[in-house]
């Protein structure tokens, strides 16, 4: 999938710190656009013209999270919204948010939210769950 990411015109004279922020923004925009799909570290590193190892270090320094943690945060953000606002089955939500294995989604969700997706939905959901 080809994603267009907007950037500043080349005529802007940007210092290295600002250029770093532009790279982070470009990565996060890309992850937001592609979170439903399989996103590979190599393709995202290439997006900002960096080697994978350098990119991982760079992203961790700038965001405080690893590449996978950033991707999970975006995916889980969409999943929590869907859990609260829809009655779709949890398995369907997991798949729609880019998690290929519902069991992996449950594990990551529990690690982040200290409860299962079903418990989260019961606590915060507005719709009657299809899983209940």
Nearest Cα to 20, choosing from 45, 39, 46, 48? 48
Sequence-separated (6 or more) residues with CB below 8 Å from residue 25? none
pLDDT tens digit sequence for 99-131: 999 999 999 999 999 999 999 999 997 755 444
CA end-to-end span of the chain: 36
Q: What local confidence, expressed as pLDDT, does residue 3 receive?
A: 53
Give domain 69-124's CATH number out of 1.10.287.3510, 1.10.10.60, 3.40.50.1000, 3.90.420.10: 1.10.10.60
Q: What is the pTM of this model?
A: 0.80
Q: How far is CA 49 from the centre of its chain?
A: 20
pLDDT tens digit sequence for 59-112: 999 999 999 999 999 999 999 999 999 999 999 999 999 999 999 999 999 999
pLDDT of 18 above 60: no
């Amino acid at each position: 999938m080809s994603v267009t990411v907007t950037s500043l015109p080349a005529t802007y004279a940007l210092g290295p710190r600002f250029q770093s922020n532009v790279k982070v923004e470009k990565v996060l925009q890309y992850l937001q656009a592609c979170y439903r799909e399989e996103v590979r570290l190599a393709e995202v590193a290439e997006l900002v013209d960096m080697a994978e190892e350098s990119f991982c270090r760079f992203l961790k320094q700038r965001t405080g999270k690893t590449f996978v943690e950033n991707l999970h945060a975006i995916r889980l953000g969409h999943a929590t919204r869907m859990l609260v606002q829809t009655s779709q089955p949890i398995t369907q939500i997991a798949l729609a948010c880019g998690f290929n294995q519902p069991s992996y989604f449950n594990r990551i969700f529990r690690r982040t939210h200290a409860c299962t997706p079903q418990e989260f939905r019961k606590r915060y959901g507005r719709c009657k769950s299809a899983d209940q």
